[in-house]
């Protein structure tokens, strides 16, 4: 790829580290707390993780004596979707490994977890890592979504780790990937495999976090990237004064991205999926939330605005969630007959005849394009691919239909013209902000120190990150502490619990206190582009979500 001037300059940026680990690496010690418990299902998880359940939280501290630093071989995996800062995790890992012992080796498994199973390892050298420091993307080794699930998979992973004589394996990923890391750590212990396993919290969706994992990396950069675009659209809307912009944002399981972008840009409407579910809003209720704003602004002569929609909204609307579940079951059982149908009309008719009366009414109320998407796009398990459903276009069509009814009764006298946008891939590989560059480098550095401390089954944790990096604290959290049991593919399995938007949390309460005003007034805020050079209050600030949660 062509190297831009900005990229060339960013190569030279020196990320900041928490003070406890910024000194001589071979003197850093581990301070352990007491035994821990999982967030739920303790008895079941004790059985699954017989060798690793209950480990203590650890903090990395400055030690007084120097430790031996043997030559090590460590492997790294990038797993799942891209997130800004992944290259800096690997850079931090590489620098820590070499600072401890220059003879040590870092291997990267190409293509994600499948690269481990197929032993597609490559050495990460100083020359290679220097061309990726502080840059976006996962292209240094690539990523993948393969899950290590079967007994054969675990045995093959152990075989490769033994062949390569890996002292440690770093899994950089989201909740599913880190669940895999926990299971690998447990399996390796039970089978006497020497390889230690450490996870790193990655996902722009922000749904891998809790009291101890204060943020997943990439969320900061992605939301700032989206907010710049939304802010630009706000300026345009206020200038042109003729369009309603409906913007769908990434966030399949949680609305953290939409909420953070709303706090930064002040849209007229932001739908929060968790509120929709908690209040059992129907699709009509969601449409009415938007129409209320359109009508109120039209009464003031403002026929323009901005609506933010989380990617996973449709699954949080109870009636649509029930419909999707029924469609998944129906099309799984009648896949052959359905597969022989050629036209959209035949498919819609086939499904409508087999739905219950209430679900048939729900299905019929949807725009034709959305009906087709619910039937066409299915994942390898036969389920609807919700992330591909163009919810923003559905809402535009349904709002327009409702406003036409309102115009007929004289309730609405404005002009409505909707434009649809989806902001997703624009943020996943952006140049990391200074915050993410520092945070990710610190996570990689910490992951090595946890391995060097003979720990396994942990996830790297940097705490106090709403403060300047000079006040950050580095350590590790047992992965089992983040887990519960959930129904997956017909059986109860251990998984890391997703962090959804908390309606009694400070970020949502701040949003709720402002949204009635935003609904009517033009209060758009334009945060501008991410800044890399300048005063810390401009360049190094974390998200508003993090500030509010930790204030």
Of the candidates 541, 407, 374, which has an alpha carbon nearest to the alpha carbon of residue 467?
Answer: 541
Q: Contact at 8 Å (CB) between 233 and 305? A: no
Coil/strand/helix, residue 505: coil
Q: Which two tokens stand for residue 293?
A: 């704003």
Smallest CA-to-CA distance from 197 within 512, 509, 480 is with 480
Helix axes 318-333, 357-365, angle to 10 degrees: 110
- DSSP structure string for 194-260: --EEEEEEB-TT--S--SSS---BTHHHHHHHHHHHHHHHHHHHHHH---EEEEEES-SS--HHHHH
Residue 409: other Cβ atoms inside 10 A: 7
First-to-last CA distance in the chain?
42
| 3 state DSSP class of 387 | helix
Active site residue 5: no
* Assigned token pair, 106: 């870092």
Taking the CB of residue 288, how many other CB atoms lie within 10 A of it? 15
Residue 226 and residue 527: Cα distance in Å, rounded? 10
Residue located via tokens 């026929």: 303
What is the spatial distance between Cα 372 and Cα 362, in angstroms, rounded to a whole number? 14
Residues whose CB falls within 8 Å of the CB of residue 73, separated by 6 or more in sequence, listed in order: 104, 105, 107, 164, 165, 166, 167
DSSP state of 30: E
Provide the token pair at 446. Answer: 């910490």
Element (H, E) at 462: strand 458-463
Edge-to-edge strand ranges of the sheet holding 305-310: 269-270, 305-310, 244-249, 418-423
How far apart CA 177 and CA 174 sit, in angstroms, is 5
**Which listed residue (153, 205, 438, 540) is catalytic?**
205
**Separation CA 541–CA 545 (nearest Å):** 11
Nearest alpha-carbon partner for 206 in 194, 219, 192: 219
What does the DSSP 8-state code read for residue 469? G
Q: Are 117 and 157 in contact (CB under 8 A)?
A: yes
Where in the sequence numbering do the catalytic residues fall?
205
């Amino acid at each position: 790829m062509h190297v831009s001037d900005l990229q060339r300059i960013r190569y030279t940026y020196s990320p900041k580290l928490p003070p406890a680990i910024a000194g001589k690496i071979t003197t850093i010690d581990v301070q352990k707390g007491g035994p821990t418990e999982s967030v739920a299902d303790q008895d079941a998880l004790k059985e699954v993780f017989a060798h690793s359940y209950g480990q203590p939280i650890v903090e990395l501290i400055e030690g007084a004596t120097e430790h031996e630093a043997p030559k090590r071989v460590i492997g790294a995996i990038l797993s799942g979707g891209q997130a800004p800062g992944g290259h800096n995790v690997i850079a931090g890992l590489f620098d820590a490994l070499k600072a401890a012992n220059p003879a040590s080796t870092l291997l990267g498994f190409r293509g994600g977890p499948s690269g481990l199973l197929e032993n597609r390892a490559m050495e990460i050298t100083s020359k290679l890592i220097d061309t990726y420091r502080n840059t976006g993307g996962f292209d240094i080794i690539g990523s993948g979504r393969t899950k290590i699930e079967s007994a054969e998979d675990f045995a093959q992973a152990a075989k490769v780790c033994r062949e390569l004589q890996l002292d440690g394996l770093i899994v950089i990923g989201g909740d599913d990937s880190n669940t895999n890391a926990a299971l690998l750590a447990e399996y390796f212990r039970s089978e006497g495999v020497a390889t230690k396993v450490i996870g790193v919290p990655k996902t722009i969706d922000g749904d891998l976090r809790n009291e101890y994992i204060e943020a997943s990396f990439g969320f900061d950069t992605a939301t700032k990237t989206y907010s710049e675009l939304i802010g630009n659209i706000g300026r345009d809307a206020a200038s042109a004064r003729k369009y309603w912009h409906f913007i769908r944002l990434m966030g399949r399981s949680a609305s953290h991205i939409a909420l953070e972008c709303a706090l930064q840009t002040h849209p007229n409407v932001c739908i929060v999926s968790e509120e929709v579910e908690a209040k059992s809003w129907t699709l009509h209720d969601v449409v009415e939330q938007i129409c209320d704003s359109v009508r109120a602004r039209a009464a003031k002569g403002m026929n323009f605005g901005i609506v933010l929609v989380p990617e996973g909204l449709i699954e949080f609307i109870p009636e649509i969630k029930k419909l999707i579940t029924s469609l998944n079951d129906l099309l799984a059982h009648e896949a052959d007959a359905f597969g022989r149908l050629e036209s959209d009309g035949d498919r819609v008719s086939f499904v409508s005849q087999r739905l219950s009366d209430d679900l048939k009414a729900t299905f019929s109320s949807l725009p034709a394009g959305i009906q087709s998407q619910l039937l066409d796009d299915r994942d390898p398990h036969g389920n609807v691919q919700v992330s591909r459903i163009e919810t923003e276009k559905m809402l535009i069509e349904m709002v327009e239909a409702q406003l036409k009814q309102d115009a007929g009764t004289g309730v609405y006298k404005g002009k409505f013209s909707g434009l649809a946008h989806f902001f997703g891939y624009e943020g996943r590989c952006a140049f990391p902000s200074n915050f993410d560059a520092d945070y990710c480098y610190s996570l990689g550095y910490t992951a090595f120190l946890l391995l060097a401390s003979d720990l396994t089954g942990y996830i790297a944790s940097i705490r106090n990150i709403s403060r300047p990096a000079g006040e950050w604290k580095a350590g590790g959290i047992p992965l089992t502490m983040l887990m519960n049991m959930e129904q997956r593919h017909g059986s109860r399995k251990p998984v890391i619990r997703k962090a959804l938007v908390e309606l009694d949390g400070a970020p949502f309460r701040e949003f709720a206190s402002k949204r009635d005003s935003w609904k009517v007034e033009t209060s758009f805020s334009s945060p501008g582009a991410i800044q890399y050079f300048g005063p810390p209050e401009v360049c190094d600030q974390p998200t508003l979500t993090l500030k509010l949660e930790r204030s």
